[in-house]
Chain A
Amino acid sequence: MKKLVLAAAAALSLASVDAVAAPAEGVELLKVDWSFKGPVGKFDRLQLQRGLQAYREICASCHSLKYVAFRNLTDLGYSEEQVKALAAEYEFPAIDDEGSDTTRKGTPADHFPSPYPNEKFARASNNGALPPDLSLITKAREGGPDYVYSLMLGYEDPPAGFTVLEGMHYNKYFSGNQIVMAKQINDDQITYADGTKATAQQIAQDVTAFLHWAAEPKLEARHATGFRVMIYVVIFTILAYFLKKRIWARLEKK
């Protein structure tokens, strides 16, 4: 038990800069009517494409997305050629025929690369904090997509008397209200390829939807399969009910 307490104490000293799954207490999250909500919810392909663009142009400079491979991007409505071209924009370390270090172009089989060579480098670049991998972020936080969306828009001036430590930023929704990540999303920060007006809310929504796809890529298949399975089970249950009534009626005849 002593060891546990020590571990806990050691961990608490890090907890202020490392991510925890709970949002700030007592704060109402911003609610979005996500297209993927509900039993028949689906992703909005154009929104996911905008979210991908926002991730690549804003988030990817600090956050990895290691469980997502470029080949998965065909789910967003891109053709295989488009995916190949996108993957080729990235460079990966490789070893050439002479055994020397070199680089090669990315292929659809590659996953999104980490922006940092290692964890120490990442922490040194971010005031001691490690920017979390975003592949599962909407499932790894209480409040899910609503929390991720709220966090991106939760930057405001601290209330009077609240001291924000150096290198930290006030965020209404973050646990403890101080976060190393500075405000990243502003109106017209990027220019959307599809011409959608890039308000801060729009960007935050698009990137959250994209991240929810990254966390739960089989969501549409799950909803669709679930619907068919339910129809089957309902019919089975109704038939079983009438069969039960019919068989038990034999007892009354006796």
Chain B
Amino acid sequence: MSTEKSVWRRAFEWHEQRLPIVTFLDNSVGTKYPAPKNLNYFWNFGSLAGFMLVTMILTGVVLAMNYTPHTSLAFDSVERIMRDVNYGWLIRYMHANGASFFFIVVYIHLFRGLYYGSYKAPREVLWWIGILILLTMMATAFMGYVLPWGQMSFWGATVITNLFSAIPLIGEPIVTFLWGGFAVDNPTLNRFFSLHYLLPFVIVGLVVFHIWALHIPGSNNPTGIEAAPADKIPFHPYYTVKDAFGLGVFLLFYFAVVFWAPNMLGHPDNYIPADPLVTPPHIVPEWYFLPFYAILRAIPDKLLGVVAMFGAILVLFVIPWLDTSRVRSANYRPVYRIFFWLFVINAAVLTWCGAQLPEGLPLILGRIATFYYFFFFFVIMPVVGWMETPKPLPASIGTPVLKPAE
């Protein structure tokens, strides 16, 4: 066998000496990134979120080639995409439903972090960047929903931008500034389109920092204890293949909706062109904003409602210090775990309330659920952390993994 290196090998090494991009990738998500060997399937959702971000950017770039950001043409241009652009219907349905599935994936990713204490030291900055990604995603999704210029686009934009008018003194000027005029109109649509195209690339930048911050301490794991080097395995091939399998399962759900129920998660009003003179009887945001919409409407005062709505996300920044327990994983926290699952159910209740008219039972339920949402962070997290006796932690990851599961 010849020991001579092939010309391809030499060209590769020549390039790597000058820009070691393959080495960089191998260190990031390849054979040189050691990950705990006991990660369960909830750890798939990070890479799924990355997959959805790429899907949204690719489909979005193609849509932008065919979309016209003008109030008199936007709705028509979307219909042209659906009817006359080759596979335009597929690209648009992938993008519109992609937003929903991106949020499903990111919410599961977030709840996973919450359950296994991935926000605790030394991962606080990693957690912060995650919240910044969520906030940027929400802004992007909101502006994207405005672009088809249907009735819900227009009235959703009107209601949400009007929230800023609750800010004392500078509220009205801020709203005028956001609108680019004195009502939601063409300047609003233009700037939303511009920002809707820009922000996904801001998210890409944040994702780079998110992964960078992840690599300093390494991945958390279901036990929450630090993984010893012996309990780590290379990300590639073990987690690349596991992520590939998870991606396949995820795509079954995503494509089932794209091809067989593409309008299930949308609202029929958005197939009516925007009309500033006709208000839909019931203005609701997309489903992924419903919990926050319920919090907004649970509070009778407009300014406090807006503060609570934004506070519901901003509180996530301080939970590394609100949670007083040193044990990361809720698997070893018998009391906290009950409140955690109540919090998950509570989030579902808020989602339901957000879709109802704010009166009667939904309003009362929405208020109770809003109370519990903040009670969980500000009272349960610190108090249960002090009072609870956690179950004994394993000495190492190897110990529980070798034993059969309970």
Query: Which residues of A pack against B, CB within 8 Å?
Result: 1, 3-4, 7-8, 10-12, 14-15, 18-22, 39, 67, 72, 132, 135-136, 139-142, 144, 175, 215, 217-218, 221-223, 225-227, 229-230, 233-234, 236-237, 240-241, 243-244, 247-248, 251
> Would you give the 0/1 interface string for B260-275, flagging 1 where the beta carbon is closer than 8 Å to chain A?
1011000111011000
Q: A20 CA to B268 CA in the complex, in Å?
A: 10
9 contacts between A and B (CB under 8 A): A4-B158, A11-B279, A14-B278, A141-B268, A222-B90, A222-B93, A233-B248, A233-B252, A247-B237
Q: Size range of the interface on B?
A: 35 or more
Residues in A with CB closer than 8 Å to B278 are 11, 14-15, 18
Residue of B nearest to A222 (CB): B259
Instruction: Please state if B249 and A19 are interface contacts (CB–CB under 8 Å).
Output: no
Q: Quick one: which of B238, B258, B271 has the most chain A CB within 10 A?
A: B271
For residue B394, CB closer than 8 A to chain A, the reply is no
Q: Which 6 residue pairs spanning A and B have beta carbons closest together?
A: A226-B259, A237-B248, A140-B271, A11-B279, A240-B245, A218-B89
Instruction: Please state if A218 and B279 are interface contacts (CB–CB under 8 Å).
Output: no
Instruction: Please state if B268 and A247 are interface contacts (CB–CB under 8 Å).
Output: no
Q: Known A-B contacts: A175-B281, A227-B259. Give 20 more (CB < 8 A).
A: A1-B162, A15-B281, A19-B272, A21-B151, A21-B267, A21-B268, A21-B272, A39-B259, A39-B260, A136-B271, A139-B263, A217-B83, A222-B90, A226-B260, A229-B259, A230-B252, A240-B244, A248-B238, A251-B37, A251-B238
Instruction: Please state if B269 and A21 are interface contacts (CB–CB under 8 Å).
Output: yes
Residues in A with CB closer than 8 Å to B202 are none
Instruction: Please state if A140 and B272 are interface contacts (CB–CB under 8 Å).
Output: yes
Query: Which residues of B pack against A, CB within 8 Å?
Result: 37, 76, 79, 82-83, 89-90, 93, 151, 158-159, 162, 165, 183, 233, 237-238, 241-242, 244-245, 247-249, 251-252, 255-256, 258-260, 262-263, 267-269, 271-272, 276-282, 302
Instruction: Please state if B268 and A7 are interface contacts (CB–CB under 8 Å).
Output: no
Q: A18 CA to B248 CA in the complex, in Å?
A: 46
Q: A123 CA to B282 CA in the complex, in Å?
A: 25
Instruction: Please state if A20 and B259 are interface contacts (CB–CB under 8 Å).
Output: no
Residue of A nearest to B84 (CB): A69
Using known A-B contacts A7-B279, A18-B278, A240-B244, determine if residue A225 contacts B271 with beta carbons closer than 8 Å.
Answer: no
Q: Quick one: which of A4, A10, A141 has the most chain B CB within 10 A?
A: A4
Instruction: Please state if A247 and B279 are interface contacts (CB–CB under 8 Å).
Output: no
Q: A230 CA to B237 CA in the complex, in Å?
A: 26
Instruction: Please state if B245 and A237 are interface contacts (CB–CB under 8 Å).
Output: yes
Shortest beta-carbon distance from B169 to chain A in Å: 15
Residues in A with CB closer than 8 Å to B279 are 7-8, 11-12, 15
With beta carbons under 8 angstroms apart, the residue of B79, B248, B268 that contacts A236 is B248
Instruction: Please state if B260 and A22 are interface contacts (CB–CB under 8 Å).
Output: no
Shortest beta-carbon distance from B74 to chain A in Å: 14
Q: Quick one: which of B242, B262, B267, B279 has the most chain A CB within 10 A?
A: B279
Shortest beta-carbon distance from A152 to chain B in Å: 18
Instruction: Please state if A251 and B269 are interface contacts (CB–CB under 8 Å).
Output: no
Shortest beta-carbon distance from A64 to chain B in Å: 13
With beta carbons under 8 angstroms apart, the residue of A21, A215, A229 that contacts B255 is A229
Q: A217 CA to B183 CA in the complex, in Å?
A: 35
Residues in B with CB closer than 8 Å to A135 are 79
Instruction: Please state if A20 and B260 are interface contacts (CB–CB under 8 Å).
Output: no
Shortest beta-carbon distance from A22 to chain B in Å: 7
Residues in A with CB closer than 8 Å to B282 are 22
Q: A3 CA to B76 CA in the complex, in Å?
A: 28
Q: A225 CA to B258 CA in the complex, in Å?
A: 11
Residues in B with CB closer than 8 Å to A72 are 83
Instruction: Please state if A10 and B277 are interface contacts (CB–CB under 8 Å).
Output: yes
Using known A-B contacts A1-B302, A67-B79, determine if residue A244 contacts B242 with beta carbons closer than 8 Å.
Answer: yes
With beta carbons under 8 angstroms apart, the residue of A8, A223, A240 that contacts B260 is A223
Q: A218 CA to B83 CA in the complex, in Å?
A: 7
Instruction: Please state if A233 and B183 are interface contacts (CB–CB under 8 Å).
Output: no
With beta carbons under 8 angstroms apart, the residue of A1, A11, A19 that contacts B165 is A1
Residues in A with CB closer than 8 Å to B268 are 21, 139-142, 144
With beta carbons under 8 angstroms apart, the residue of B89, B237, B255, B280 that contacts A233 is B255
Residues in B with CB closer than 8 Å to A225 are 90, 259
Q: A139 CA to B255 CA in the complex, in Å?
A: 20
Residue of A nearest to B152 (CB): A21
Residues in B with CB closer than 8 Å to A3 are 183
Residues in B with CB closer than 8 Å to A12 are 279
Q: A11 CA to B280 CA in the complex, in Å?
A: 9
Instruction: Please state if A247 and B277 are interface contacts (CB–CB under 8 Å).
Output: no
Residues in A with CB closer than 8 Å to B258 are 226
Using known A-B contacts A7-B279, A12-B279, A20-B280, determine if residue A223 contacts B271 with beta carbons closer than 8 Å.
Answer: no
Residues in A with CB closer than 8 Å to B233 are 251
With beta carbons under 8 angstroms apart, the residue of B165, B241, B269, B277 that contacts A140 is B269
Residues in B with CB closer than 8 Å to A227 are 259
Residues in B with CB closer than 8 Å to A144 are 268
Instruction: Please state if B271 and A247 are interface contacts (CB–CB under 8 Å).
Output: no
Residues in A with CB closer than 8 Å to B158 are 4, 7
